[in-house]
C-alpha cells in the first residue's frame, strides 16, 4: 500500500495555527457555557425567618397581602403558594424589596388558603405562614350583568360597561343548521364602555349566546337570545345623482366632477377626487340624491391618494339627510328641514397630527386604502337625500376633497 504524502509547500502553517486557536476557543467557550451554573452558589443551609403580621385586602378577582419582611440580609423573595378553585396549583413571587404580594385570577368569591414562604439566596425556605383570602366575584360578572344585545344590520349590536377597564373577551356564538353553537365573533377589549357589532349574518331568526372571559380563562354564564338580524345591502350607486353646489363654494381646477364620488375608484388622485374650495367661512358641504329612500347602517369615505390624513382630507364631518324632495330642492344653500344623521372624526392610527404620505405607517395606509368606516345610530330615519359636510380638515384648510363614498343599509321598497 502506498501512502500519499502531501508536499510541504501546500501547507499554510499560519492558517493552521489560526484554525487550531479558533477550535480551542470554541471548545473552551462551549464547556464554560454548559458547566458554569447561573446565579449564586448556596452558601448555607439556614432557613430564613418567616414573614409576620400579614394583612389581607380582598378585591374583585383577587387579594393583596401586606406583611412585614424578615430581617435576613440574604433574603431573595417571598413566595405565595395556593390552589385555585379549579384545582390548579399556583405560585406567585414578590421581591425582597417590597412588603406586599397580589394574587389574581379568581372567578367567584371563595375562601382560599395561601402559604407565604420566605426564600433566601441559598434557596432555603422558611416555614410557611398560612393566611386566608376571600376574593370578591371577578369583574367579568358585573360586566356580564351590564350586557345589552339588540338586532342590527347584518347581525347584532352589543354594549357593556367595564368601569375598571379590565382586559376581557366578549364571545359571541350562534346556532348553525346542524343545531350546534359555533363562534361568530370575539371582541378583545379593555375600554370602559364597550360596543361590539357582529355583521355578515343572514336576516333569519337565529339563537345566539354571549359570554365574558377574562385573561385568567374564567368564564361567566352564557346569555342566550333569539334575534333576527336586519337585512343590509350596499346602496346601488347607479341611481345616484349630484345636486347643485351652494354658491359659497367653487370646484377646484385640480378635481373632477361630482360623479367621481360613486365611480368605484377608491385609489384616486387629482381629477379622481371631488375637490371643493370655499369663498366664505362656512363649512364646505355637497348634496347627493341617492335615488332610493334607505335607513343607513354605515358608510365609508376615501380620501385623496398620497394626501391621506393631510391637507384637505376631512377630519371632522357630519352627514345630514332628508326624505322630503321639497327640502332637498328648497335651495342649494338652505338647511331648512335637514336632519343631522351622524357626526364623525377621521382618526389616524399612528396619531392625531397631519403627516406626509412618506411617514404614514402600514396601519395608517391600511385604513386609508380600505376606507374610513362609520356607523349610524339605529334610530336614524330613512332618507333619500344626503349632505356631506366638512367641519374641518386635517390642516384646517379652506378646501375639502373626497374620492369615493359608499353607503349600506336597508332600502325602503
pLDDT of residue 42: 67
Query: What DSSP element (H or E) covers 18?
Result: helix 13-35
Name the average pLDDT for the chain.
90
Three-class SS state of 317: strand
B/e letters for 217-235, b = 16+ CB within 10 Å, e = fewer, are ebebeebeeebebbebeeb
**Positive or negative torsion for Cα 72, 77, 82, 87:** negative
140: cell is: 367579568
CATH class assigned to 52-133: mainly beta
CATH superfamily of 139-231: Immunoglobulins (2.60.40.10)
pLDDT of residue 5: 33
Question: What topology does CATH give the domain 234-411?
Answer: Jelly Rolls (2.60.120)
What CA–CA distance (Å, rounded) separates 14 from 27? 20
Three-class SS state of 209: strand
Q: What is the CA radius of gyration of the chain?
A: 34
Intervals of CATH 2.60.120.260 along the chain: 234-411
254: cell is: 385640480
pLDDT of residue 15: 45
* Alpha carbon separation from 100 to 53, 87, 138 (Å, rounded): 11, 25, 21
Residue ranges of the chain with per-residue pLDDT less than 70: 1-42, 413
pLDDT of residue 391: 98
What CA–CA distance (Å, rounded) separates 163 from 145? 13
DSSP assignment letter at 122: T
150: cell is: 339588540
**Cβ(51)–Cβ(129) below 8 Å:** yes
CB atoms within 10 A of CB 362: 9
Intervals of CATH 2.60.40.10 along the chain: 52-133, 139-231
Closest-CA residue to 226 (of 131, 149, 291, 282): 149
What CA–CA distance (Å, rounded) separates 266 from 297? 20
CB atoms within 10 A of CB 195: 12
Amino acid at each position: 500500500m502506498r501512502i500519499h504524502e502531501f508536499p510541504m509547500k501546500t501547507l499554510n502553517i499560519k492558517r493552521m495555527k489560526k484554525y487550531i486557536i479558533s477550535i480551542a476557543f470554541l471548545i473552551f467557550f462551549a464547556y464554560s457555557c454548559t458547566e458554569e451554573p447561573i446565579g449564586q452558589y448556596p452558601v448555607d443551609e439556614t432557613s430564613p425567618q418567616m414573614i409576620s403580621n400579614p394583612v389581607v385586602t380582598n378585591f374583585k378577582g383577587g387579594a393583596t397581602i401586606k406583611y412585614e419582611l424578615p430581617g435576613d440580609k440574604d433574603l431573595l423573595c417571598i413566595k405565595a403558594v395556593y390552589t385555585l378553585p379549579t384545582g390548579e396549583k399556583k405560585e406567585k413571587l414578590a421581591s425582597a424589596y417590597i412588603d406586599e404580594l397580589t394574587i389574581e385570577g379568581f372567578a367567584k368569591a371563595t375562601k382560599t388558603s395561601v402559604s407565604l414562604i420566605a426564600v433566601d439566596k441559598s434557596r432555603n425556605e422558611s416555614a410557611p405562614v398560612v393566611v386566608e383570602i376571600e376574593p370578591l366575584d371577578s369583574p367579568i360578572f358585573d360586566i356580564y350583568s351590564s350586557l345589552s344585545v339588540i338586532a342590527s344590520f347584518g347581525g347584532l349590536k352589543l354594549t357593556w360597561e367595564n368601569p375598571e377597564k379590565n382586559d376581557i373577551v366578549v364571545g359571541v356564538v350562534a346556532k348553525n343548521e346542524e343545531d350546534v353553537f359555533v363562534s361568530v365573533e370575539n371582541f378583545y377589549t379593555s375600554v370602559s364602555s364597550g360596543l361590539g357589532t357582529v355583521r355578515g349574518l343572514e336576516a333569519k331568526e337565529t339563537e345566539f349566546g354571549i359570554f365574558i372571559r377574562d385573561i385568567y380563562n374564567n368564564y361567566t354564564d352564557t346569555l342566550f337570545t333569539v334575534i333576527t338580524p336586519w337585512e343590509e345591502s350596499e346602496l346601488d350607486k347607479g341611481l345616484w345623482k349630484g345636486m347643485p353646489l351652494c354658491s359659497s363654494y367653487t370646484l377646484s381646477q385640480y378635481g373632477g366632477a361630482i360623479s367621481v364620488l360613486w365611480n368605484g375608484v377608491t385609489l384616486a388622485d387629482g381629477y379622481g377626487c371631488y375637490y371643493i374650495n370655499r369663498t366664505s367661512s362656512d363649512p364646505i358641504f355637497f348634496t347627493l340624491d341617492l335615488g332610493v329612500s334607505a335607513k343607513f347602517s354605515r358608510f365609508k369615505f376615501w380620501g385623496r391618494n398620497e394626501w391621506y390624513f393631510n391637507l384637505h382630507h376631512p377630519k371632522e364631518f357630519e352627514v345630514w339627510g332628508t326624505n322630503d324632495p321639497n327640502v332637498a330642492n328648497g335651495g342649494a344653500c338652505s338647511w331648512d328641514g335637514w336632519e343631522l344623521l351622524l357626526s364623525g372624526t377621521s382618526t389616524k392610527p399612528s396619531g392625531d397630527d397631519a403627516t406626509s404620505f412618506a411617514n404614514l405607517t402600514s396601519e395608517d395606509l391600511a385604513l386609508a386604502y380600505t376606507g374610513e368606516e362609520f356607523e349610524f345610530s339605529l334610530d336614524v330615519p330613512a332618507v333619500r337625500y344626503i349632505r356631506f359636510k366638512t367641519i374641518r380638515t386635517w390642516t384646517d384648510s379652506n378646501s375639502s376633497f373626497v374620492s369615493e363614498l359608499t353607503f349600506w343599509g336597508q332600502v325602503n321598497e
